[in-house]
Amino acid sequence: MLNQAVVESLTGGEAQLTVAAMVALMLYPWPGGEAELREGLAEARRQAAGRRIDVGHLPRPVQEVFRAAVPPGERPNLLECLSRQAEAALLAWGIQHSGLSREALARELGITRSALYKKLQRLGIPYRR
């Protein structure tokens, strides 16, 4: 899991992230793995005037994912936006890759099948009954 210790190890302890920047890093899928993350943090460190890295210092693709997930008016509510994104990602993965029926997936998640369908609809995740 991405956390401050990981960031410090990748930047040599020379960077401090804002909460928004940490959320942006957590939302981005990092298709290039650790190498892409390391380069992204190095770029952000170069962009930042001091030690503090904010969303605007991160690579453009990371900023775009953040802006799509966290509309400007919702920025003060980052935890709720991150929770919504994490929930959507988990449900989408469960539907596509778990191999479970909808009923079994709901049971694994500790919710009813109807609650699962409501969440999928609310989050805009396609499903077949």
DSSP-derived 3-state class of residue 17: strand
CATH 1.10.10 is held by the domain 75-129: yes
**Residue 53 three-state SS:** strand
18-27, 69-78, 82-91, 110-119, range with greatest mean pLDDT: 110-119
What is the chain's mean pLDDT, rounded?
Answer: 84
Weakest mean pLDDT among 21-25, 26-30, 67-71: 67-71
Predicted pLDDT of residue 75: 61
- DSSP for 88-106, written as a single string: HHHHHHHHHHS---HHHHH
Q: Mind listing the pLDDT tens digit for each residue in 45-65?
A: 888 887 889 999 999 999 998
Going from N- to C-terminal start, the domains of the chain cover 1-69, 75-129
Helix then strand then coil, in percent of the chain rounded to 5, is: 70, 5, 25
Q: How confident is the model at residue 28 (pLDDT cuts 50, 70, 90)?
A: confident
Q: Averaged over 25-40, what is the pLDDT?
A: 88
70 has pLDDT over 70: yes
Type of residue found at 56:
G
Q: pTM for the whole thing?
A: 0.66
Note the CATH architecture for domain 1-69: Orthogonal Bundle (1.10)
Per residue in 97-110, pLDDT tens?
A: 888 888 999 999 89
